[in-house]
């Protein structure tokens, strides 16, 4: 597999591990309070009724991002060993894990689609 795909997987792993840190726009409550990261969620006033929901959301994003990155590490090892079928399975799993956040995170699904195109060219 090409070096650019390996680089993209490495970047996806690093990015996925930082989802809760770098974040994206998520709005909570009827006033649509924007909370961009776990750090921001934890900094919300204790009396903000949606504080725990925001913290839970970002904790889940953190767990999911790390789980996807762990699978991405396995895909990377498979790519480096030129085991394309195994890499395919792990990259599929990464984009599957990402599904609850895919619209915002945009990490693994675009990578998996790129990988599929490159694989079809082989």
| pLDDT reported for residue 82 | 93
| pLDDT reported for residue 1 | 58
pLDDT digit string, tens, across residues 36-75: 999 999 999 999 999 999 999 999 999 999 999 999 999 9
pTM over 0.85: yes
CA angle 14, 19, 23 (to 5 degrees): 135
Tokens of residue 15, six digits: 């990015």
Whether 98 contacts 68, CB under 8 Å = yes
Residue matched to tokens 């984009």: 95
Torsion region of 20: left, alpha or beta (phi above 0 gives left; psi -120 to 50 gives alpha): alpha
DSSP 83-121: -HHHHHHHHHHHHHHHGGGHHHH-SHHHHHHHHHHHHHH
């Amino acid at each position: 597999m090409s070096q650019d795909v390996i680089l993209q997987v490495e970047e996806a792993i690093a990015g996925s591990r930082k989802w809760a840190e770098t974040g994206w726009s998520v709005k909570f409550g009827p006033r649509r309070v924007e909370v961009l990261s776990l750090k921001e969620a934890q900094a919300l006033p204790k009396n903000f009724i949606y504080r725990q929901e925001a913290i839970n959301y970002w904790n889940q994003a953190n767990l999911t991002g790390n789980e996807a990155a762990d699978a991405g590490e396995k895909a990377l090892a498979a790519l480096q060993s030129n085991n394309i079928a195994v890499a395919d399975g792990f990259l599929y799993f990464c984009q599957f894990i990402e599904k609850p956040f895919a619209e915002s995170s945009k990490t693994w699904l675009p990578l998996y689609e790129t990988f599929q195109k490159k694989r079809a060219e082989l």
